[in-house]
């Protein structure tokens, strides 16, 4: 079976959540002892030499050049020329024309739950293109049962067309290893005594950062608090808004905004963290929960959507819209060493139930079903 994957994520200098999924999936597919004949199609050179080395000659990497219309024209033509039998589109969007059956991965339907938080052009694209791509795909991978339910209830996708394939957690995230180097980012030298870490990857409103800041300010008045590290992309107006909020709350000196953190630095920050907070309003999966648990870091997360599914009984669950509940949870974890030890043990056990190897194996099984279906 010849499989082609839209692997443009391999060229990303600063991978986001979906890009991390693609990178880890392809690395894990390459590591499978038995795998299809897989080609990863990119639109340029790979950004990470370590990823390129890990893939080696186990998966073909083909750069497809196109001045315009990469997804609409260049890639479908290459799939046809290479006689690909199943094409996988990990970012959900399908080309208008395809020479073979397609598999799409759906990470979430946030644009349907929170349309008001999307720019008009992006929302229009999601509304028009995503449902059409899902209808045309032969098989759909959902990253959680919660996303699968959303697909059935909100888009009317037949349940038997969907396969739930959970994400894994990188071996980089482990209790073993050091803390961040003092010069890893501005403020890293202050993490010697620990930190509270919010590492949601960005400042989209559903990431709920504003309430995290307010809860931290309340908790700081009730117990001794280490610095709060809010990791994520820099350069947006929302970042300036959040910095302004820290000034109004009187915690500007206590909050560190390090920007985007490479995986190794993020893993080191998690090992330094006393607690990781991830009270998003909605997530398709919630990979930072797993990463924190695998690092031996206690987790506070939301009592809704996929976060309950990922956390199991290994985290404190809170109403993400209740600032007081989040503040009380922070105080509780910071003040109770026995609770922190229990959450650490539960989290380590829970995180071992997820692996990228399993993700790769189950994804290959979906490819085979897509190839067999008429």
Q: Which residues span the domain enclosing 17?
A: 2-167+355-372
Cα–Cα dist 303/298, whole Å:
16
Band (pLDDT 50/70/90 cuts) for residue 219 is very high
Collapse the DSSP code of 314 into the 3-class scheme (helix H, G, I; strand E, B; otherwise coil) and give the result: coil
Q: Are residues 133 and 238 in the same domain?
A: no
Closest CA to 310 of 167, 154, 106: 167
| CATH number, domain containing residue 64 | 3.40.50.2000
**219 and 102, same domain (yes or no):** no
Using only C-alpha atoms, what is the Rg of the chain? Answer: 21
According to DSSP H, which parts of 107-236 are helical? 110-113, 120-136, 145-155, 209-220
Average pLDDT, the chain: 93
- Of 164, 134, 139, 161, the closest CA to residue 359 belongs to 164
146 and 96: one domain? yes
Encode pLDDT of 76-108 as tens digits.
999 999 999 999 999 999 999 999 999 999 999
Same domain? For 197 and 322 the reply is yes
Give the number of other Cβ atoms within 10 Å of residue 241's Cβ.
12
Quick check: is 181 in a domain? no
Task: Say if residue 338 is in the same domain as residue 359.
Answer: no
Q: Is 173 a member of any domain?
A: no
Whether the pLDDT of residue 374 is over 70: the answer is: no
Report how far residue 308's alpha carbon sits from residue 312's, in angstroms, rounded to the nearest whole number: 6
Task: Quote the CA–CA distance of 340 and 18 in Å, as a whole number.
Answer: 30
Taking the C-alpha atoms of residue 360 and residue 324, their distance in angstroms, rounded to an integer, is 41
Residues 216 and 330 in one domain: yes
115-159, pLDDT tens digit by residue? Answer: 988 888 888 989 999 999 999 999 999 999 999 999 999 999 999
> Is residue 180 one of the residues assigned to a domain?
no
The share of the chain scoring above pLDDT 70, in percent, equals: 99
Q: Is residue 216 part of a domain?
A: yes
Does residue 175 lie in a domain region? Answer: no
Query: Which 8-state DSSP code applies to residue 318?
Result: E
CA distance 92 to 162: 13
pTM of the predicted structure, to 2 decimals? 0.93
Q: What is the pLDDT of residue 277?
A: 98
Nearest to 344 by CA among 332, 333, 353, 355: 333
In a domain, 163, yes or no: yes
Same domain (yes/no): 94, 209: no
- pLDDT tens profile 350-367: 999 999 999 999 999 999
Please check whether residues 134 and 260 belong to one and the same domain.
no
Q: Do residue 220 and residue 126 come from a single domain?
A: no
**How far from the centroid of its chain's Cα atoms is residue 198's Cα?**
14
Name which of 73, 75, 77, 102 is nearest 90 in CA terms: 102
- Give yes or no: residues 160 and 279 share one domain: no
Would you place residue 323 in the very low, low, confident or very high pLDDT band (cuts 50, 70, 90)? very high
| CB-CB contact of 277 with 300 (8 Å) | yes
Q: pLDDT category, 18, cuts 50, 70, 90?
A: confident
- Does 199 share its domain with 342? yes
| Calpha distance 96→129 (Å, rounded) | 10
Which of 339, 303, 298, 328 lies closest to 315 in space, CA to CA?
298
Q: What is the DSSP letter of 282?
A: -
Whats the size of the chain, residue-wise? 374
Work out how many domains the chain is built from and give that number.
2
Looking at the structure, tell me whether residues 246 and 271 fall in a common domain. Answer: yes
């Amino acid at each position: 079976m010849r499989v082609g994957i839209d692997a443009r994520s391999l060229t990303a200098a600063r991978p986001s959540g979906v890009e991390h999924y693609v990178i880890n999936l392809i690395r894990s597919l390459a590591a499978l002892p038995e795998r299809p004949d897989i080609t990863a199609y990119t639109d340029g050179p790979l950004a990470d030499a370590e990823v390129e080395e890990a893939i080696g000659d186990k998966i073909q990497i083909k750069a497809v050049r196109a001045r315009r219309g990469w997804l609409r024209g260049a890639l479908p033509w290459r799939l046809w020329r290479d006689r690909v039998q199943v094409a996988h589109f990990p970012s959900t969007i399908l080309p208008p024309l395809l020479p073979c059956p397609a598999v799409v991965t759906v990470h979430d339907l946030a644009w349907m739950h929170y349309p008001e938080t999307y720019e008009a052009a992006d929302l229009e694209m999601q509304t028009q293109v995503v449902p059409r791509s899902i209808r045309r795909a032969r098989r759909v991978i959902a990253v959680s049962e919660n996303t699968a339910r959303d697909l059935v209830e909100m888009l009317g996708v037949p349940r038997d067309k969907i396969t739930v394939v959970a994400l894994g957690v990188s071996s980089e995230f482990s209790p073993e290893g050091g803390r961040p180097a003092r010069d890893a980012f501005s403020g890293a030298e202050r993490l010697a005594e620990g930190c509270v870490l919010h590492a949601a990857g960005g400042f989209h409103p559903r990431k709920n950062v504003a309430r995290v800041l307010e809860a931290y300010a309340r908790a700081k008045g009730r117990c001794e608090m280490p610095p709060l590290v809010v990791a994520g992309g820099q350069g947006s107006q929302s970042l300036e808004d959040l910095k302004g909020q820290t000034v109004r709350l009187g915690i500007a000196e206590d909050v560190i905004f390090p920007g985007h953190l490479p995986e190794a630095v993020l893993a080191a920050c998690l090992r330094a963290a006393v607690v990781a907070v991830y009270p998003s309003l909605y997530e398709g999966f919630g990979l930072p929960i797993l990463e924190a648990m695998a690092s031996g870091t206690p987790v506070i997360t939301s009592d809704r959507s996929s976060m309950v599914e990922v956390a199991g009984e290994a985290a404190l669950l809170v109403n993400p819209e209740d600032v007081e509940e989040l503040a009380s949870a922070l105080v509780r974890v910071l003040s109770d060493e026995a609770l922190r030890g229990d959450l650490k043990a539960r989290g380590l056990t829970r995180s071992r139930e997820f692996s990228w190897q399993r993700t790769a194996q189950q994804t290959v099984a979906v490819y085979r079903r897509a190839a067999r279906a008429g």
